[in-house]
Amino acid sequence: MAKKIRLRASAKGGVATVKALITHPMETGNRKDKKTGKKIPAHFIQTVSGKHNGKEVMLAEWGPAVSKNPYVSFQFAGASKGDTVELSWSDNKGGSASATTKVR
């Protein structure tokens, strides 16, 4: 599976709004494979971090109850157009991804 983050950031009045769509299967570990009857192993994002010009402005700890391909949005103060925003995540199987964009 391609680990991908679609990321956008915009600023208005010094407040940035960041929106991201993360491609991830987000398996709970409770679902069974219909063909084999065996449980599908848990595979979910544990940590999501948002940074503004290298400084962390958002940290979220997730669990298996978050849906497949999650959408996340957050706001923070002190942003200007052209600033850098980075969103990164790591999952329970050691996978990770990150994306960077400029504030519009």
pLDDT in tens, 57-99: 999 999 999 999 999 999 999 999 999 999 999 999 999 999 9
Domain ranges of the chain: 4-27+40-102
pLDDT digits (tens, 9 = 90+) for 13-65: 999 999 999 999 999 999 999 999 999 999 999 999 999 999 999 999 999 99
Torsions phi, psi of 56, nearest 5? -65, 125
pTM above 0.85, yes or no: yes
Helix (H) or strand (E) holding 76: strand 71-77
Q: CATH fold of 4-27+40-102, please? A: Immunoglobulin-like (2.60.40)
The pLDDT assigned to 2 comes to: 57
